[in-house]
Structure 1
C-alpha cells in the first residue's frame, strides 16, 4: 500500500459541531527502533507489546468555521486533564501540517483537544505513542462521519499511518497484542508506513504477558526521543545496530512460535541495553538511566538466578524499568517487586500492566 491510498478521493459531507473520543494504549518495544529517515520512517524494524492500563484518553470537540483557514494554518487548543497546554500546541500544529493532505477537512473546523494519561507524561513510558495514536483515531473517527465508510482494516491502517506522522512508535499503539513496524522479509505484509499485527504464530505462554512498570523517575526526560533519534544520523555504530535489529526479528519469530522464554529473556534484555549503549556512544553522549535503574536490573538478575523464573527487564528511552514475565508467574514475581524493587521507585510507585488488544472508541 502506498501513501496515495490514504488521500481521500471523494468529497466530504460537512459536519455540525460534535465530539469524538478514543483511548489508546502505550506500547513497549521488545525489538527497539532508534534512528529514522525521511518523514518519520524507521531505520530498522521494531516489534512491541501493546499495553492495556498505560493509556491516553482523548476527546476531540469540533465546530465548523465560517471561513476556511489558510493553507498550513489550523484552529485548535490543547488541554491536558482540562488544563490548557500552549507548549503542546507546536507539536500538534506540526502533526496537522504533516497529515493535512490525508485529512483535507482540518482547516474547516475549530478543534478542542482534551487529553489525559493514566501514567506520568514525558517520563519514558511512550506518552507520545499513546497520545498521538489517540488523536489520530479521533480524527479518523471524525472522517468516517464525513465520507463513505471504509473497512475496519483500512481504518486501522490509516490511523496507524497518521499516528506515525505524529510520533513514530504511535503506529504500534493502534492494534495489539504484538505489533511490528518496518519492512522485514520474514514478516509478510509488514510496512514502514504503518504498524501491522505480528504474523508468525505466538505460543500461549506469551498471551497476556505481564509488564510491571517501575517508576524510577517520573520527571521529564533530560533528552527527548526526537533528539536521540537524530543523533543516530552520524553515529559510528548505527549501521551495525540496524543490522542487529533485523537479525533479532528473525530470532524473535522463533522465540514467539516455540515459547522459548529463555531466548526471550536474553534477547529482550540485550535489546534494552543496546538502545542505551547507542545513547551513551552518540555525539553528544547522554545517559537516561539512573542509579536506581541499575539497582533494579541487578536485583532482577539475582532473583532470576536464584529462582529460575523467566523474568526480565526492558527499558524505553528513560529511567523507568519494565519488568516482563508470564502471567503464570504473576503472584511470585509481584511479591518480589513489592518486597525488593518498589524501594527503588519514586514514592514506591509502579504500574501493573499486560499485553492487550489496542485502542478503543469512547464516543460514536
Structure 2
C-alpha cells in the first residue's frame, strides 16, 4: 500500500544547472459519484468516480531557471493568457507550501508559469482541477530530470498526489478516461492519496460518451466549494451520505461493465440531486441551483420519457448542467439542446465535450 512518505524523494542522481521548460495540457473532469466533504490534507470523506473530459482543459507552460542566490522563499511569476495574474498567486503560493516536502527543489528555482484555458473564463466551469493537474505534471517532468530512472507508474501516481494537494478533484484529471479517487472496497487499488484509473473493461455504451455543458450561470458562487466541504463536518446526514457514496460506487462499477444505460441515468441523476440536497440541509444552508437549472432538468426528464433516449443530467457544485449521453444519440440530443435548452443558458452558451484520456505533454 502506498504511503505519503513514498512521495518524499531520496537523494537525486542528477542536477539541473540550466534553464528549461515543459508544457502540458490537463482536462477538467465530471464526477458521476460525487465527493462532498473532506478531512485534513485534502483527504476525501467518501470515494468518487469521474469521467475525464477532453475539450475543457488547461494548457500550462512551466519555465524554470536556477536561482543566482540562496533564498528560502518561493519565486515565481504567473501569467494567464499572456497577462500577469496577481490574484492567482496566493493559490500557487499555498500549493507550493503544501507540496514543498515532496518537491524539495522548489525553492532553488525561479519559475514562470504561463497558463490558458480552452473554455471561456468566468464560464462557471471550475478551472482548479485542470489547472492544478497541469501544474502537477509539469513539476513531475522537472523531477524526472533530477531522477531519470523514475518509473512511469510512480510519475503518474505522484502527479495525481500533488494535484490533490492543490485541488481535491484535480487528482482525477491526471490519467484515464474513468478515474476513482478515495479508498473503496469495490476498487482494489483505490486510495485516498491519489486517483486511480478504472481498470475494468468499460462497456462500449460508455466509450466516446458525450458531455454537453450548459452554462446557466457564469457568476461567482454564493458559497465556495471549500466552504461547502467544511459544512459536511457537523452535517446531520453526513454519515448516511458517505455510506451511500460507497454503495453507489460499487453499483457504478457494475453499470460501467454491463453497459446498463437506464441504471446509469438513474444513479448519476440521483447523485447530482443528493449533492445539492447536502447543501440545502447543511447549517448554514444554501442553494447553488438556479431556476433555469430546474427548468433544464424538467425538460430533460420530459424528453427522455417521450423518446426513450437515455440522456441524463449531472451537476457540479454550481448551477450549470452537464448533459450526458451516448455518442449514438448525439445528433438528436444536440438538436434537442438547440431547440429547447439553450434559451435557459446565459448568452445561450454551451460547450460540447466528451470523455478524454487525461494529461498530455505538448512540447
Normalised by the shorter chain, which TM-score bucket? over 0.9
Corresponding residue number in structure 1 for 2:235: 235
Task: State the SS of the aligned residue for 1:199.
Answer: coil
Task: State the SS of the aligned residue for 2:41.
Answer: coil
Corresponding residue number in structure 2 for 1:86: 86
Q: Residues of 2 paired with 1:92 and 1:319: CA distance?
A: 27
C-alpha deviation, 1:263, in angstroms: 0.3
Q: Residues of 1 paired with 2:17 and 2:239: CA distance?
A: 48
Q: Structure 1 stretch 148-157 or stretch 339-348: which is displaced more?
A: 148-157
Correspondence list, 1:32-181, <5 A: 32-70=34-72, 73-121=73-121, 124-181=124-181
* Residue pair 2:16, 2:145 contacting (<8 A) in 1 also: no
Task: State the SS of the aligned residue for 1:145.
Answer: helix
Q: Residues of 1 paired with 2:322 and 2:177: CA distance?
A: 16
* Residue pair 2:124, 2:219 contacting (<8 A) in 1 also: no
Corresponding residue number in structure 1 for 2:4: 3
**Structure 1 residue runs of 4 or more that deviate by more than 6 Å after TM superposition:** none
C-alpha deviation, 1:121, in angstroms: 4.3
Q: 1:271 to 1:122 in 2, by over 3 A?
A: farther
Task: State the SS of the aligned residue for 2:299.
Answer: helix
Q: How many residues align?
A: 361
Scaled by the length of structure 2, what TM-score is found?
Answer: 0.97
C-alpha deviation, 1:122, in angstroms: 5.7
Scaled by the length of structure 1, what TM-score is found?
Answer: 0.97
C-alpha deviation, 1:176, in angstroms: 1.8
Task: State the SS of the aligned residue for 1:104.
Answer: coil
C-alpha deviation, 1:123, in angstroms: 5.1
* Residue pair 2:180, 2:196 contacting (<8 A) in 1 also: yes
Structure 1 gap segments, 5+ residues each: none
C-alpha deviation, 1:200, in angstroms: 3.0
Corresponding residue number in structure 2 for 1:359: 359
Q: Residues of 1 paired with 2:5 and 2:295: CA distance?
A: 49
Q: 1:54 to 1:204 in 2, by over 3 A?
A: same
Q: 1:171 to 1:275 in 2, by over 3 A?
A: same
* Residue pair 2:288, 2:319 contacting (<8 A) in 1 also: yes
Corresponding residue number in structure 2 for 1:267: 267
Q: Residues of 2 paired with 1:114 and 1:220: CA distance?
A: 24
Q: 1:230 to 1:123 in 2, by over 3 A?
A: farther
1:276 aligns with 2:276: yes
Q: 1:180 to 1:266 in 2, by over 3 A?
A: same
* Residue pair 2:124, 2:215 contacting (<8 A) in 1 also: no
